[in-house]
Each structure stands twice: as structure tokens, then as C-alpha cells.
Amino acid sequence: MKRSWICIALTLAVAAPVAAQPGQQPPPDQGQGSGSGSGETPPTYLNGVQDVTAAETATPGKLTITMARAVELALKQHPNIRAAVAQAEAAEGRVEQARVAEHPTLTASGTLGAFSKAGGFANGMATSGGFFTDAESTNVTARASWLIYDFGVTAANVRAAEANADASRASIGQVDLDTQQAVELAYLQSVAQRRLVVVAQATVKSDTDHLDQAKRFVAAQAHDPIEVAQAQSTLANAISALAQAQSNEATALATLRAAIGWIDPTRAVVVDPNWPAAQEGEPPDLAALVAQARKHRPEIVALDKQIVAAQESLVAAEDERHPTLSGTAAVSYIPQTGNWSPQPSWTAGITLAWAVWDGGKSYADQHVAHANEISAVAQRDELLLTLTSALESARAQIETNRAAVTAAQEGVTSAKFALHLAEERYKNGLGSQIELADAQTAVTTAEGNLVNAEWQLANAWTTLRRQLGQM
């Protein structure tokens, strides 16, 4: 008889994974995250950083970590976070580039050359020269220039670059939140699959006992021999379901490795089968949730800064049509054939330049900046529009799944009691293998339902925290 809990295991394998789980606390002897190796065991390094404690590597070939520790490792080493930090540093560099126009520049150059010396007349006499008569010259020049004023173009470009840098820094927070959520989802998926493996193992053990019991009754001619065949079929289905559950667990652990950014192939990542500590209490009311989200969501901060950057770029594009005032000064020393010790010369001046017609560049820059502003405003407004409904949905899911957990717990209790009665009836010769198998299936299904309900409750809490920007 196929057990319906196989479907539950498969459903959990593809369902959306979640974060902070209700249930039991992790045992105190598990590694809790920070710190280096204890005792005399040398610390373990990952990507050049002391990342793994001795307690976590106590089992050869395995790394046993808590959810908090998995998040810590991911935030320290995941490539997505390193890329976001690099992008923020590049944005800081663009601020420095924008400020270059505010500073004076100094250039020095030197040349050494030769040229043909033309012939001529001096004092009524012909002088030597011609195409094949060479002469030498040198030129040493130092030049300083400074853009004194450009009527706001540079200032607007600097403000735009600073706003973009602020947006990039806010985006780091967004990547941190996404990475943490991904790790928690993968971690709790692994916990759920481990618990389903435990359920499957218990079912196999129970069905093995039932098969032995049926064989004894048939040997004593107390039951029909068909009951042995029924028990064997039931056990075979349970063993198949266990294999599927173990496969789902392996897949979940592989997903967790990727979410952490774990690249060490010599150790497998494993999790504690107990749920992490549950989040207690009721979620705040919807108005308070919306206020918190608008204050803390890094996406909103980043989009607000992008709007400012687009507005400042628009100002800079409009100011491109204005004149620029700059000053220059240069000192030159030019010795050459016939005069190897001339006096140095210098020049200085102030230039007012105005591009009367720039070929449409200013208009094109304004067009791009205005479009960028419209896009950033639309993205922010879209986020604000969906935020309230997302928060309301997550809050409702918490209430729904909390009730589902309570109902599933009662279902497990009832199913186990029914299995106990069926086993007693079978021992007394009143029941059958079919009744016993149905009772065992009910227990397995109820325990799978409980895992699913606890998982979905944690998923709702995780979704709510992510929507708030407070993982």
C-alpha cells in the first residue's frame, strides 16, 4: 500500500523554504557561531579567514552549524556581498572623479628634437643651411590650469555622484538581507527534510516490527498467511519513502552549501534536526508594520537616492550650456642650436569660454537624466504600493499557520493514540494488517503535516521580517 506521506515529503522538497522555526531549542553542545577553535585544536580557515570553530568540525568530514552561524559565514564570504561592496567602492571612486574638476592640475613635459636648418643671408653674407643641415632643440614646460567656475555643472555632478554612492551603500544592505533570507530558507529546508527522514526511519522501524509480529502470528496459525505479504508490501513502501526522504535531505544540504558560499569540498555541511528558537508574540498591527518598513527597507533608501542623483544630473545637464571660467599659467625653457642658454619664458591668463552650440549634447543629457528620474520614482512608488499588501499577507499567514500548527499537533496525538489501539487489537487477534497499516499511515501523515505547518509558520515570519527590512 503506497503511503500518502510520500507526497508530503515531495511537497516539502519543492515548497518555498523558510527561516526562524518554531519548536525545540538547539542542544547546548552545538556550535553557536562566533569565536575560534577551543582547546588545543587549531582553528580552521576558509578563504583565508578563521571561519570555523573546533566544535563545528568535531565530526570528521562534516561541519555542524546553527542557522545563526550559517548566516554569519554567508555574510562574511558570499560572492554577492563582495560584489555589492565592490560596487559601492566604485561609486565612491566616481565621487572622487567628479571632484577632480574642482582641483587645479599641473603638468610637466619635456621634448628633445632635431630639425633641418634653412640657409639664408646675414650681414650680406650667406649662412650655412639646407635640407641636410640639422639643428637640435629642447623644450621643458610646466603648465598649471584651474577651472575657476563653471556655473554649477561640477557641483551638480558631485551631488549626483554622492547620491549614487549613497544608493550603492544602501544596496549592500539589500544584498545582505537577501543573502540572509536565502541562507535561512535553505537551512530550514534542510531541517525539515532531516525531520522527515526521522519520521521515515521511525515508520520503517514500526513496519519492521509489524512484519515480525505478523510472521509470529502466522507461524502460530493465529492469523491468515496473507497478512505477512501485506506487511511486507507495507514495509517495502516505507523503505522506498525513506530513500526518497534521504535524497531530498541531500538536495537541501547542497542548496544550503550554495547559499552560504561554502566551497570546501572536504567537509559536508549538516544541521541540527531541531527547529531554531521560535519567534514569540503577535506581529504588530498593519499600520505599524508599514511605518517600520518604509523606515528600514534599504530598497526604498536606495531608490530615494537614485531619484536625487537623477535630479542633480538633470541640473548638471541644464548648466552645460553656461560658460566656464578657467585660469592657466605656464613656464617654458627652450634651448636650441644657436642659443643653448635662453631665458625662460612664462605665460598666464584667464579664459572665459562658452559653447554657443554643442551639437545637442546638453539636450540629450537632459533627456537621459529626466528619464532616469521617472524610472526611479516609478520603481519606488511600485514598491510602496506592493509593500502594504505584502505585509498584510505575511501577517495573515502567521495567524493561519499558527492555527495549523496547533491543529497538526492535535492530529499527531490522535493518530498515535489510534495506532496504539490498532496495535493492541492486533495483538489480541481482533485487528488486521490492513487496519494496522492504515493506522501507521495516519501517524506518518500527521507527523508530516506537523512538519509542514511548522515550516510554513516560520516561512511567514521570515517573509514578514524581510518585508520589514529587519532580518
Predicted confidence band at 6 (pLDDT cuts at 50, 70, 90)?
very low
User: DSSP label at 100?
Assistant: G
Q: Per residue in 424-449, pLDDT tens? A: 887 877 777 788 888 888 888 899 99
C-alpha cell at 191: 531541517
Work out the widest C-alpha separation in the chain, in whole angstroms.
147
Relative to beta strand 134-149, strand 120-122 is: unpaired
Residue 387 near residue 290 (C-beta atoms within 8 A): yes
* pLDDT of 171 over the 50 cut: yes
Residue 129: its pLDDT value, please?
Answer: 59
* pLDDT of 96 over the 70 cut: yes
**Cell 527561516 belongs to residue:** 19
Residue 52: its pLDDT value, please?
Answer: 57
Using alpha carbons, list the distances in angstroms from residue 81 to 46, 68, 260. Answer: 16, 17, 11
Percentage of the residues of the chain whose pLDDT score is greater than 70: 83
Q: Which of 267, 276, 90, 85 is nearest to 179 (CA)?
A: 85
Q: Per residue in 333-372, pLDDT tens? A: 888 877 778 888 889 999 888 888 888 888 898 999 999 9
Whether pTM > 0.75 for this model: the answer is no
Predicted confidence band at 122 (pLDDT cuts at 50, 70, 90)?
low
Specify the CATH number of the domain 5-33+53-118+127-468: 1.20.1600.10
Q: Where are the domains of the chain?
A: 5-33+53-118+127-468
- CA torsion angle for 216, 220, 226, 227 (degrees, to 10)? -40
Residue range 165-188: mean pLDDT, rounded: 91
Q: How many Cα atoms are found within 13 Å in the side-chain-facing hemisphere of 140?
A: 8
CA distance 159 to 172: 20
Residue range 125-132: mean pLDDT, rounded: 59
Amino acid at 460: A
Residues contacting residue 463 through CB under 8 Å, at least 6 positions apart:
390, 394, 397
Residue 199 near residue 5 (C-beta atoms within 8 A): yes
Q: Which of 79, 86, 82, 81 is nearest to 258 (CA)?
A: 79
CA distance 304 to 61: 48
- Provide the H-helix boundaries in 22-126: 67-77, 79-99
Q: In what helix (H) or strand (E) does residue 62 lie, and over which residues does it extend?
A: strand 62-65
Q: Per residue in 26-82, pLDDT tens? A: 333 333 333 333 344 444 444 434 455 655 655 667 778 888 888 898 998 899 999
With vertex at residue 35, the alpha carbon angle to CA 29 and CA 36, rounded to the nearest 5 degrees, is: 95
> How confident is the prediction for the chain on average, in pLDDT?
81
